[in-house]
Amino acid sequence: MLPCLNKQIFGFECPGCGIQRSFWLLLEGKFGEAFLMYPAIFPLILLFVFLIADRFIRIRYANNISIGLMILSVLTILTNYIFKLI
């Protein structure tokens, strides 16, 4: 896995710390452990799958859905980051 430069230089984790390990756990089929490692992995995957599907299939209200998924992803990342700092 690639090391986190933010953690190495400044001594604390960045908002993306854990996403590589979480994705790897997903590939191994360990969904619960992946969520515990990085809770935003599921909203991010849902967002990317939706954006790819939107390229090939005409989806009604796609703009609103993608904005909602983006907001959900950002809120999940920020909430996770705040809990890591506490």
Confidence at residue 13, expressed as pLDDT on a 0 to 100 scale: 84
Q: Which of 3-12, 30-39, 50-59 has the lowest mean pLDDT?
A: 3-12
- Cα separation, 1 vs 27, in Å, equals 14
Confidence at residue 68, expressed as pLDDT on a 0 to 100 scale: 97
Is residue 41 helix, strand or coil?
Answer: helix
Report yes or no: 85 and 77 within 8 Å, Cβ to Cβ.
no
The sign of the dihedral angle between the CA atoms of 36, 71, 51, 59 is positive
Question: What residue type is assigned to position 18 of the chain?
Answer: G
Q: What's the number of domains the chain is made of?
A: 1
- Over residues 28-51, mean pLDDT: 95
Domain carrying residue 77? 5-85
Give yes or no for residue 4 having a pLDDT over 90.
no
Give yes or no for residue 45 having a pLDDT over 90.
yes
Give yes or no for residue 10 having a pLDDT over 90.
no
